Amino acid sequence: MSDIISIHSPAGGYRTYTLQRLELEFSPAKWHWDRETTLKHHAANGARLIERLRPHLDVRYGDGPLQTLDIFPASRLNAPCCVLIHGGFWRISDKSAMHFAVRHFNESGTACFVINFDLCPRVSIDQISAQVMEALIWISKHAADYGASGDRLFLLGHATGAHLAAMAISTDRDGSQHPVVDQIRGALLLSGLYNLTAIPKLDINAILGLDDRTAVAQSPAFRIWPSHMSLVFAAAAHETAEFIVQSKESCDIARSHGADVDEALVADHGHFTILDILEQRRHPITSRFIDMMQAA
């Protein structure tokens, strides 16, 4: 195997890394020393929110062991739905990592659905993508049971959760899509990965199991982005270069497909602390997403 790896951009051109550097570019846990402190902070705030709001926990939407979701009903009827999707490189973490982020969305009148899914290596990444779509279909059908509107869905994903959100809203080059995509009005994509074609070269692929074909198929950067949605792409200024460029590339591609797109590079944050902005009601990105949902 060559020590120089090329990542081809769907917009044309390519960028190269040594294999050693590529491992680091795709390893936020190795890059960001504050990971554990940040995750513990979010978990503690999420636990307090659970205690205060008493949501419906572990509601099953599919047959897989981890196919459950937590539901925070809105205080008003016919509310829009925010679906939160956790990261963890498709192999660790769970929905509790995103509970803390519900507060300002729920207080602003949005019903929140925080989803779990099975993880690699028990299932493949394409099966995880299918489970996320299964969750969205379930939410669209059952939202009214919790006072919400199933035809006004908004997605929020972090890291590989942003990848999974992007897979849900983008479509194959043949144009085929599930009807539930028409019910998704927008998304906030934080520090996502959208081009997976280098992952088969990485050590972690022993767990993920991608080959060259599935890596392309599971790369939203090579798919068609919807023109009817409002999208916000944000990356942290202290991310690795690959995370920053993937966010920028996919933002440009979505814009070229006609989507209403905002983009941001969030100063003074890294891959994990970028989530802190969701605890700030007046942060421009948080406010933009809340305004988007309230206007739907």
pLDDT digits over 129-165, tens only?
999 999 999 999 999 999 999 999 999 999 999 999 9
3-state secondary structure of 52: helix
pLDDT computed for residue 177 by the predictor: 73
pLDDT computed for residue 1 by the predictor: 46
Q: Which domains does the chain have, with CATH numbers?
A: 34-295 (3.40.50.1820)
In whole angstroms, give the CA distance from residue 68 to residue 61: 6
Confidence category of residue 12, pLDDT binned at 50, 70, 90: confident
Q: What is the mean pLDDT of residues 31-50?
A: 95
The string of DSSP codes covering 198-245 is: TGGGSTTHHHH---HHHHHHT-GGGSBPPSS-EEEEEEETTS-HHHHH
In whole angstroms, give the CA distance from residue 32 to residue 182: 37
- Give the rounded percent of residues in the chain with a pLDDT score beyond 70: 98
pLDDT digits over 61-109, tens only?
999 999 999 999 998 999 999 999 999 999 999 999 999 999 999 999 9
Mean pLDDT of the chain: 95
In whole angstroms, give the CA distance from residue 126 to residue 10: 20
Q: For strand 4-8 and strand 68-72, is the pairing parallel, antiparallel, or unpaired?
A: unpaired
pLDDT digits over 249-279, tens only?
999 999 999 999 999 999 999 999 999 999 9
Q: Look up residue 71 and give its two tokens.
A: 């539901």
Q: In what order do the strands lie in the sheet with 148-158?
A: 56-60, 68-72, 111-115, 79-85, 148-158, 184-190, 230-236, 260-266
Q: Is 193 in contact with 249 (CB distance < 8 Å)?
A: no
Q: Is 135 in contact with 115 (CB distance < 8 Å)?
A: yes
Residue in the block written with tokens 């941001």: 264
Cα 107 to Cα 26, 210, 227: the distances in Å are: 35, 40, 29
